[in-house]
Amino acid sequence: MRFKKASGRVELAEGTRNPAFRDADGDEPAAEHSAGREDHSARTEDPSAGREDGVAAVVEPEAAVAVVGDEYSQVRPYAGMPKEVLLRYSSQARYRVPREILFWLTVCCTLALVAVTVTVVAVSPRCLSWWQASPVYQVYPRSFKDSDGDGIGDLKGIVEKLDHFLYLNIKSVWISPFYRSPMRDFGYDVEDFRDIDPIFGTMADFENLLAEMHQRGLKLIMDFIPNHTSDRHRWFNLSRTRDPHYEDYYVWADCNSTSPKPNNWVRTVSVFGNSSWTYDEVRGQCYLHQFLKEQPDLNFRNPDVRQEIIDLIRFWLDKGVDGFRMDAVKHILEAEHLRDEPQVYPDRPPESVTTEWDLHHDYTYTQLGLHDLLREFRAEMDAYSREPGRYRYRGPRGRVAMWPAGVPNGRKLGVRNIMVCVWLGRFMVTESYDYHEVEKTMMYYGTRLIKESDFPFNFYLLDLPHNKSGAWAKHLVDLWMANMPLGKWPNWVVGNHDRSRIASSAGPTYVRAINMMLLTLPGTPTTYYGEEIGMENINVTESQIQDPAGKYNASASRDPERSPMQWNDDMNAGFNNKTNVTWLPVHPDYESVNVEVQKADGGSVLSQYRSLSSLRQTALPFLRGWFCYVHADANVFSYVRELDGHRAAYLILLNFGTQSAATDLSSVQELPDQLEVVAATNPVRDGNTVQKSSILTEAGEGLVMQYSTYTRFHPKHPAECFVSEKACLLETIGILYKC
């Protein structure tokens, strides 16, 4: 390589290596080095050499370039050196070796990060679903909030109160039916599954409600009624006129208005006190209805009916609904042969059959093929859970990393900012009252290979008031836990729109303890509106009865537990602040039992509910940990929540008896001698220290006590402990892993 001078400029051209050139590493002859520098100095002394315009051609001395004839000698690298010079020096060991070290170090670090990531994913337990991470709150729309002054709650009213759910740390909201309906059963008799009843608003109101909920990170669970429609539904009107396509959409059987009905089901007094068969004069046959005669049963033996229902599920999923509560699923299929059902007391005459309890429902409940049908529904919902772009809040692979919100006294509760992974799939829960046949209820979980509902509703705690004792409470909890399939997720219900409010059935004394148990048991708790403030049943006179069941039998009315929500001490408890009209009376205690008053009281039922809900979300043992029975007697029910690797564990002790108790847990070696109360139904006891040898509680009192130890209870008591999926915590870095 050589430098050429032309027109006063220095150009780089093709050249040859100077045989006399050697690196400037101290091995170049001093004379040559000195000569080169003198020659270079000589070349830089003439500021105008080679330039006709007299402008000096400056060559920086630091460049250390010596030009000899058509060749050059290079002393050291310089800024702006040509590629050929750079390549010459880059091959030297002092430049090459550091570069290679950095390259391989980068490769190793990258591979290490990939390996760590793969390992963390492989050993991590599966993500919690949103319906596992949050309690479910049931809204009965007629009674939640009235926005237009007609005395009936509506969808706009729910929008007004969405922040109430956030205040309670609740993300999952189940709304009872608001489809277009004649309201013979307040929405469970559907006239049009694709429309909103004008009482509640319009489809635009629903879409706005859904958008507002999603904007706040809330999930909407709709009530879905697959078993029957209203007798005003278009399908039924076409079926009764024997339209070729709709003729078999319902369960029809030959009979007439005077002859005996198709079978002894006629003697079965249904849930609402009506005969199970009704003669239709238009068609000249009887149709089956297991509820009101205005609610004819669909014929799911007809594949067209199945497809209609699947299309309806798709319709609402397309709108962005997050899940469904499937109503009355055990009634969906009936035996095709329509045989007489056996009597419970076969020696009695058929005329003695007057209630549903007088027959064994071998041909009308939980028929063969029912679970296949529900799995079809499940598969449809799972398809929407996987579909990219369909679900607004789904992240990569349906997961989102979510940091739990802080809670008051977070350090005291041992709460750490540990990232929780949440799966944003669609949710399905089934309703089936199977009573003592708990094994039938468990079938709705599906199998290890085929998923059905995420869980069937657990109604056994509704029987808690029947026997006020700690042993009875443990029995009801264990009835579910001992029968639940391995690896499934439990749930708990203490009230709904069909059952008396727990504050009335058990008594106000026990409301706080029941809420404490609901929010500290493993699984998903379901709260019926108003239970968070301790609302009680109202007294309804015969002239005030609205419920169809109550009009048939006043003692069976469900109106008392459906009274308007008590928001404040204003007119109508804030339910309707525009007119003095409510569809049912407001409870007379609304001035002291309402949301606004209890928000201002740190020791209220509402404040306790909120604190426990926050604890459940932020303390890992409640979401991921073991549940172990510790003690149960005539008064007290006690259990532990713990997680392997998590230093903080919790002992919950609840007094469901009728008298005070001193509980001695000295024999439980895994518990330390002293425990700190972090939540109590009596706020005075918050922060107290108790001795495990004598834990004092009054009737209806509950304590959540925290202790710190890595000694776990479950290894030595496997028969007393349950966990849905084993997980351990690497506490130093806050990572959960399978163990």
Tokens 């009009």 found at: 551
Strand 399-402 relative to strand 179-180, pairing: unpaired
At 258, the pLDDT band (50, 70, 90 cuts) reads confident
Look up residue 647 and give its two tokens.
Answer: 């230093």
pLDDT tens track for 359-417: 899 999 999 999 999 999 999 999 988 744 333 333 333 333 333 333 333 333 333 44
Cβ atoms 145, 157 nearer than 8 A: yes
**Predicted confidence band at 274 (pLDDT cuts at 50, 70, 90)?**
low
| Structure tokens that stand for 41 in this block | 């100095």
Q: Is a pLDDT exceeding 80 seen at residue 5?
A: no
**Res. 36: pLDDT tops 70:** no
H/E stretch holding 716 = none
Q: Tell me the pLDDT of the chain averaged across its residues.
A: 86
How does residue 43 score in pLDDT terms, banded at 50, 70 and 90?
Answer: very low
Q: How far apart are CA 73 and CA 71, in angstroms?
A: 7
Helix (H) / strand (E) containing 253: strand 252-254
pLDDT at 350: 83
Residue 340 lies in a domain: yes
SS (H, E, C) 66-129: EEECCEEEECCCCCCCCHHHHHHHHCCHHHHHHHHHHHHHHHHHHHHHHHHHHHHHHHCCCCEE
- The 3-state DSSP class for residue 193 equals strand
3-state secondary structure of 65: strand
For residue 431 the two structure tokens come to: 């309703």
State which of 91, 123, 149 marks the end of a domain.
Answer: 91
Q: Are 679 and 707 in contact (CB under 8 A)?
A: no
Inter-residue contact 432 to 456 (CB < 8 Å): yes
pLDDT band at 84 (very low <50, low <70, confident <90, very high): confident
Question: What's the whole-number mean pLDDT along residues 670-693?
Answer: 96
Question: Residues, the chain, total?
Answer: 739
Q: For residue 524, is pLDDT > 80? A: yes
Q: What is the pLDDT of residue 471?
A: 97
Which CATH number covers residue 661?
2.60.40.1180
Per-residue pLDDT at 268 exceeds 60:
no
Q: Distance of CA 710 to CAs 565, 583, 671, 713, 729, Å?
A: 45, 55, 11, 10, 11
Domain region containing 275: 227-299+334-361
Dist. CA 117–CA 111, nearest whole Å? 10
pLDDT band for position 423 (cuts 50, 70, 90): low
Output the CA torsion sign for 212, 216, 217, 219: negative
Q: Determine the pLDDT at residue 181.
A: 97
Percent of the chain residues past pLDDT 70, beyond the cut: 83
The whole-number pLDDT of residue 732 equals 84
pLDDT tens for 129-182 read: 999 999 999 999 999 999 999 999 999 999 999 999 999 999 999 999 999 999
Q: Is 414 domain-assigned?
A: no
Q: Is residue 394 part of a domain?
A: no
Please report where in the chains the tokens 């229902």 appear, as a residue.
309
Average of per-residue pLDDT across 492-513: 96
**pLDDT band at residue 99, thresholds of 50, 70 and 90?**
confident
Q: 669, exposed or middle or buried, with CB in 10 Å at 0-12, 13-18, 19+?
A: exposed
Express each pLDDT in 655-664 by its tens digit.
999 999 999 9
Express each pLDDT in 601-625 by its tens digit: 999 999 999 999 999 999 999 999 9
58-62, 340-344, 347-351, 377-381 — which is least confidently predicted?
58-62
Q: Which of 309-323, 390-404, 687-701 has the lowest mean pLDDT?
A: 390-404
Give the chain's radius of gyration (CA, Å): 38
* 179 within 8 A of 173, measured Cβ to Cβ: no
State yes or no: pLDDT of 670 exceeds 90. Answer: yes
- Express each pLDDT in 714-739 by its tens digit: 999 999 999 998 999 988 888 888 88
pLDDT value at 420 more than 80: no
Inside any domain, residue 653: yes
Task: Give the pLDDT mean for 248-262.
Answer: 88
Q: What percent of the chain has pLDDT over 90?
A: 69
Q: What b-and-e string marks burial along 606-619, b requiring 16 or more CB atoms within 10 Å of the CB?
A: bbbbbbbbbbbbbb
Task: Give yes or no: 431 in active site.
Answer: yes
User: What pLDDT band is residue 571 in, cutting at 50, 70 and 90?
Assistant: very high
pLDDT of residue 272: 52
The number of C-alpha atoms within 13 Å of 543 and in the hemisphere containing its C-beta is 0
pLDDT, mean of residues 490-497: 97
> 189, 197, 327, 686: which is the annotated catalytic residue?
327
| 479 found inside a domain | no
Could you tell me if residue 501 is inside a domain? no
* pLDDT of 557 over the 80 cut: yes
Q: Which residue has the higher pLDDT, 8 or 163?
A: 163
Contact status, residue 286 vs residue 263, Cβ threshold 8 Å: no
User: Is residue 483 a part of any domain in this protein?
Assistant: no
* CATH code (residue 232): 3.90.400.10
Query: Looking up tokens 């008392």, which residue turns up?
Result: 560
Q: Where are the beta strands (DSSP E) in 633-714?
A: 636-642, 648-655, 661-663, 674-680, 689-691, 695-697, 702-708
Residue 30 belongs to some domain of the structure = yes
Given 154, 185, 334, 431, the catalytic residue: 431
| pLDDT higher than threshold 90 for residue 304 | yes
Total count of domains within the chain: 3
What pLDDT is recorded for position 38? 45
Can you tell me the distance from the alpha carbon of 81 to that of 217, in angstroms, rounded to the nearest whole number? 59
Residues 6+ apart with CB under 8 A from 150: 199, 579, 581
pLDDT of residue 66: 47
Say if CB 133 and CB 617 are below 8 A apart. yes
How large is the average pLDDT for residues 180-201? 97
Least confident residue range of 61-75, 86-100, 362-376: 61-75
pLDDT higher than threshold 60 for residue 48: no
Give the per-residue pLDDT at 282: 96
Report the relative pairing of strands 728-730 and 626-632 from DSSP bridges.
unpaired
CA angle at 496 for the pair 634 and 514, rounded to the nearest 5°: 30
Amino acid (1-letter code) at residue 381? M
Give CA–CA dist 531/511, Å, rounded: 8
pLDDT beyond 80 at 9: no
Looking at residue 686, its pLDDT comes to 94
- For 10, 27, 37, 68, 70, the CA distances from 31, given in Å and listed in that order, are 27, 11, 10, 15, 21
Q: Which of 42-46, 266-270, 415-419, 445-449 has the highest mean pLDDT?
A: 445-449
Total-model pTM: 0.83
Tokens of 535: 């609302």
Which of 316, 344, 361 lies at the terminal end of a domain, its last residue?
361
Q: Give the mean model confidence (pLDDT) for residues 221-231.
A: 98
Q: Which of 311, 342, 361 is the last residue of a domain?
A: 361
Q: Give me the pLDDT at residue 352, please.
A: 80
Q: How many contiguous H segments (helices) and E segments (strands) does the chain have? A: 19, 31
Alpha-carbon gap, residue 142 to 155, rounded angstroms: 9
